[in-house]
């Protein structure tokens, strides 16, 4: 048993729901107890969908257990077919139904439903949401892909046709999947490539049947589509574009890879957005060497580490993912940045790692956002799981050149802007700018107790005030404490810890201003 308060991933049947909800004209009959319908609200609330997810639950209760839950399943499946008339159905069990061992597969076969029925085996006690989504999509593709349907000849009656690609992986409840698809579709259009099929999101079972008509596949989200892509490679000889186009450099590589696979020249006049210049402009100089901790799903974390290090000039001080399936990729990347990889789905372990790494910026999921808030660190969200605010109304991709623009804005905004930071540090001792002063627009009357306290300033307020005691706890002299207070708040904790560690390692009992600077030079990065 594992004690859990918060989980990065839901159970595998939620992954199956994400595939089903992303698609059209497909229905999911889920053998599950009353109560499991809670998952509907992830889609109707977080993603703000205006339809119910296409899922029928058998919602059996205790009184049904002595009787025939199998019969309940059959009734639910038949009613669902009659009501929704789907082109295909997927059937399976949630964690509890897995235990009572009705066999949705066998049952649905004997029912002779007038549409393809795809059984799902989702082991709830060993696998999770991403795995469930991947397996579901794979089974759907495997069952529904029409092996007779191959790409049209490259040259037809009207001359050569444009190459065609499948965009595979986007689902319901995917982090920015909606906008990534729009962005990549547009980019492919600019390259002269048509999209044959986007799946699972937006496709119907009939559309899936024509998946073989594309010249190649683009695996947008390996967590969900890698398995299906590799089957398609074997079955239809379709090549897979594996570069995930998150970040400027990755997008350029994606363009090269796509063009190579499609047999097209790489265009020289592509609009590559503003990110490159924004990052080179002098206001971004202060970003150099900013310590960043990165955690999320494997794909987004690895992509973010590259953007952080090669495109923004940050220093990656931590890298990890919660989905074990992508541990290898994350380990390889962590080695590149010389950090210890963190493969864990325990948010307490992540919190410890963040504290130990003392970053200046955290890039992570909804959970890291809260950890960062608690540690008073700037933070931006780069990966699912996310809450409702990260399903925005505005166009906000992560992929492609526009995605790179979005990444720049999203990651840089939580940091204090360069000039602002410089001025604040320079005039730190000035009464109006001191840490203890409130924002001037609130008027001076409110200054001492002003909301500036949000930034952990209470600690400093006691420091800058004339303190009578000669030495405070931990052996700090007032003079040293005052100096500590001049260090920008977001590295102050680290300076304090380093100094205290230095003092204890060198047998210094009284920490003076000099000790502070000796420690600083000792631990200089």
CA distance 209 to 205: 6
Of residues 95-134, those binding other proteins (CB under 8 A): 95-96, 99-100, 123-126, 128
User: Which is nearer to other proteins, 47 or 518 (by Cβ)?
Assistant: 47
* CB closer to other proteins out of 9 and 223: 9
CA distances from 395 to 18, 175, 178, 201 (A): 21, 13, 9, 17
Task: State the minimum distance, in angstroms, from the CB of residue 375 to other proteins.
Answer: 13
State the nearest-atom distance from the C-beta of 99 to other proteins, in Å.
Answer: 5
User: Considering the complex, what minimum distance in angstroms separates the CB of residue 94 from other proteins?
Assistant: 6
**36 among known catalytic residues:** no
DSSP result, 30-95: EE-BTTGGGGHHIIIIIS--SS--SEEE--B-HHHHTS-HHHHHHHHHHHHHHHH--SEEEEEE-H
Q: Does the footprint of other proteins cover residue 70 (CB under 8 A)?
A: no
Candidate segments 88-96, 198-206, 229-237, 251-259, binder of other proteins by CB under 8 A: 88-96
Residue 433 to residues 148, 286, 427, 454, 462: CA-CA distances in angstroms? Answer: 72, 20, 6, 15, 16
- Indicate the residue among 65 and 154 with the shorter CB distance to other proteins: 65
Write down the catalytic residue from 283, 346, 430, 514. 283
Separation between Cα atoms, residue 72 and residue 523, nearest integer Å? 67
The answer to the question of residue 78 lying near other proteins (CB under 8 A) is: no
Given a contact cutoff of 8 angstroms between Cβ atoms, the answer to whether 40 and 399 are in contact is no
SS3 assignment, position 114: coil
66 near other proteins (CB under 8 A)? no
Q: Strands (DSSP E) along 306-420, which ranges?
A: 315-321, 341-343, 361-364, 379-381
Looking at 24, 25, 49, 433, which residue binds other proteins (CB under 8 A)?
49
The string of DSSP letters for 137-162 reads HHHHHHHH--TT--PPPSEETTEEPP
State yes or no: cis peptide before 385, omega within 30 of 0. yes
Sign of torsion, CA 309 247 8 47?
A: positive
Q: Is 389 in the site for other proteins (CB under 8 A)?
A: no
Pairing verdict, β 164-168 and 216-219:
parallel
Q: List the 117-119 sheet strands across, edge first.
A: 55-57, 26-31, 88-93, 117-119
Choose between 100 and 182: whose C-beta lies nearer to other proteins. Answer: 100
Number of residues that bind other proteins (CB under 8 A): 54
In angstroms, give the least distance from the CB of 79 to other proteins: 7
Strand, helix or coil at 343?
strand
Which lies closer to other proteins via its Cβ, residue 7 or residue 410? 7
CB of 19 to other proteins, least distance (A): 17
Q: Tell which one of 67, 68, 71, 79 touches other proteins (CB under 8 A).
A: 79
Q: Per-residue x/- marks for other proteins, 5-34, CB under 8 A? A: xxx-xxx-xx------------------xx
Q: Kindly tell me which of 368 and 483 has the beta carbon lying closer to other proteins.
A: 368
Contact status: 76 vs other proteins (CB under 8 A): yes
Interacting span for other proteins (CB under 8 A) from 46-54, 232-240, 320-328, 332-340:
46-54
* Closest CB to other proteins among residues 3, 282: 3
Q: Nearest-5° angle of CA 168, CA 405, CA 303?
A: 50
Site membership for other proteins, residue 42 (CB under 8 A):
yes
Near other proteins by CB under 8 A, which window of 76-84, 108-116, 175-183, 283-291? 76-84
Q: Which of 44, 230, 272, 458 binds other proteins (CB under 8 A)?
A: 44
User: How many Å apart are CA 350 and CA 333, to the nearest integer?
Assistant: 18
**Quick check: 285 binds other proteins (CB under 8 A)?**
no
CA distance 151 to 129: 33
**Binding region for other proteins (CB under 8 A):** 1-7, 9-11, 13-14, 33-42, 44-45, 48-53, 56-62, 64-65, 76, 79, 83, 94-96, 99-100, 123-126, 128, 367, 370
Active site (catalytic) residues: 283
């Amino acid at each position: 048993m594992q004690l859990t308060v918060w989980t990065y991933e839901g159970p595998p049947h939620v992954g199956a729901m994400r595939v089903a909800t992303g698609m059209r004209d497909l229905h999911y009959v889920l053998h599950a107890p009353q109560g499991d319908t809670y998952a509907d609200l992830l889609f109707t609330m977080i993603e703000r969908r205006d339809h119910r997810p296409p899922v029928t639950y058998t919602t059996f209760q205790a009184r049904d257990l002595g009787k025939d839950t199998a019969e309940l399943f059959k009734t639910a499946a038949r009613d669902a077919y009659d009501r929704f008339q789907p082109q295909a159905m997927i059937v399976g069990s949630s964690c509890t139904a897995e235990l009572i061992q009705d066999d949705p597969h066998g049952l649905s076969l004997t029912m002779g439903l007038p549409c393809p029925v795809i059984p799902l085996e989702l082991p709830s006690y060993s696998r999770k949401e991403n795995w469930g989504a991947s397996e579901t999509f794979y089974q759907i593709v495997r069952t529904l892909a029409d092996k007779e349907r191959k790409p049209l000849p490259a040259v037809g009656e009207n001359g050569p046709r444009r190459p065609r690609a499948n965009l595979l992986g986007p689902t319901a409840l995917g982090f920015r999947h909606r906008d990534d698809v729009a962005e990549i579709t547009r980019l492919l259009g600019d390259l002269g490539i048509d999209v044959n099929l986007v799946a699972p999101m937006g496709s119907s079972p009939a559309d899936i049947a024509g998946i073989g008509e594309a010249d190649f596949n683009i695996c947008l989200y390996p967590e969900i589509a890698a398995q299906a892509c590799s089957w398609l490679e074997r079955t239809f000889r379709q090549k897979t574009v594996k570069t995930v186009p998150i970040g400027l450099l990755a997008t350029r590589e994606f363009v090269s890879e796509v063009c190579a696979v499609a047999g097209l020249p790489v265009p020289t006049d592509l609009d590559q957005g503003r990110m490159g210049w924004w990052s080179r402009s002098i206001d971004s100089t202060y970003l150099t060497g900013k310590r960043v901790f990165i955690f999320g799903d494997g794909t987004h974390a690895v992509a973010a580490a590259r953007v952080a290090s090669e495109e923004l000039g940050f220093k990656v001080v931590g890298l990890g993912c919660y989905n074990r399936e992508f541990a290898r990729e994350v380990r390889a990347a962590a080695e590149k940045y010389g950090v210890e990889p963190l493969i864990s789905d325990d948010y307490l372990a992540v919190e410890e790692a963040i504290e130990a790494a003392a970053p200046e910026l955290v890039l992570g999921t909804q959970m890291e956002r809260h950890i960062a808030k608690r540690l008073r660190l700037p933070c931006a969200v780069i990966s699912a799981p996310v809450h409702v605010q990260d399903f925005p109304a505005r166009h906000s991709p992560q992929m492609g050149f526009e995605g790179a623009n979005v990444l720049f804005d999203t990651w840089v905004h939580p940091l204090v802007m360069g000039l602002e930071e410089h001025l604040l540090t320079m005039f730190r001792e000035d009464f109006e700018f001191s840490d203890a002063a409130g924002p001037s627009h609130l008027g001076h009357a409110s200054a001492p107790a002003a909301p500036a306290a949000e930034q952990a300033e209470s600690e400093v307020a006691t420091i800058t005030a004339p303190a009578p005691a000669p030495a405070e706890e931990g052996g700090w002299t007032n003079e040293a404490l005052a100096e500590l207070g001049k260090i920008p708040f977001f590295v102050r904790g680290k300076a304090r810890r380093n100094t205290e560690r230095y003092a204890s390692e060198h047998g210094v009992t009284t920490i003076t201003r000099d000790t502070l600077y000796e420690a600083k030079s000792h631990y200089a990065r």
